[in-house]
Amino acid sequence: MTDFNPNTSHQPKKKGPMKKQILCFATMTLATALFAADTKEEVTAATKKLGEKANYSWKTTVVVPESAQFKPGPTDGKTEKDGFTYIKTSFGDNNVEVVTKGEKTAFINRDGEWQLAGEGGQGAGRGAFMRNVRPPAAQAAEIAAGAKELKQDGDVIAGDLTEDGAKTLMRFRRGGGGGGGGEGPAISNAKGSAKFWIKDGTLTKYEFKVSGKMDFNGNEIDLDRTTTVEIKDVGTTKVEVPEGAKKKLS
């Protein structure tokens, strides 16, 4: 017969609270990650839905510090699916009109004539700059892709941008149409954030803030701007393109 030892317990050991806490934390972390992913996908889907609309208009405003050398004026744009995009904007005292279709961009040069971007002469640099102007559906999708994560905050979806995401919004891209290669001046200490508003599954407004430093011809320039884009007249916009622009883009 086996002797009974009163100091030996044959009762099953109880699991301590630590394992439950670890499991709970892991579950919450996974749920948070999945929610962030779903929120980002919601923005991506909303931009895609906007891009599938037959047409829409938008207004862009940019706020920069009073000390900024260049102060962009408001931009008014109209676009139609698989058709023309017509944009009017200003920089200081200069008014700019641009029409794009596919990979082609036409704009009014200093002589008041429509010219294709990349044709050379006075329009080379100006045309290369205007190739950076894209309809909101394309730009908003790019911004969402460059976000660290996006979270719902009331009726707004917001989050910080990655350094590369902020740089993309600050950088002057030159590619295509003979405008020269490269990614433009070097940018450092790039930071940014973005906000998106969605209604009925479609993007209606977005805002992004970026700041950093740019090396421009050996001079370091501080960059700081807030851009707000409001989308309107979805499905009812009429894009009327000047004949001179149509001929250039045909």
3-state SS class at 6: coil
> What is the distance between the alpha carbons of residues 16 and 202, in angstroms, rounded to a whole number?
49
> What is the distance between the alpha carbons of residues 240 and 237, in angstroms, rounded to a whole number?
10
Report the predicted TM-score, pTM, of the whole model to 2 decimal places.
0.78
Structure confidence by residue, pLDDT tens digits, 98-111: 999 988 889 998 88
Structure confidence by residue, pLDDT tens digits, 183-209: 567 899 999 999 999 999 999 999 999
Which regions of 102-148 does DSSP assign to beta strands (E)?
104-108, 114-116
* Residue 156 reports pLDDT greater than 60: yes
Q: Give the pLDDT of residue 195.
A: 98
Beta-bridge partner residues of 12: none
> What is the distance between the alpha carbons of residues 71 and 69, in angstroms, rounded to a whole number?
7
Beta-bridge partner residues of 96: 89
Are residues 89 and 74 in contact, defined by beta-carbon separation less than 8 angstroms? yes
Mean pLDDT calculated for residue range 68-83: 90
Measured between alpha carbons, how far is residue 193 from residues 116, 148, 161, 225 in Å?
A: 34, 9, 5, 11
Are residues 31 and 204 in contact, defined by beta-carbon separation less than 8 angstroms? no
Least confidently predicted of 46-50, 110-114, 172-176: 172-176
**Residue appearing with tokens 């884009």:** 229
Q: Give the pLDDT of residue 50.
A: 97
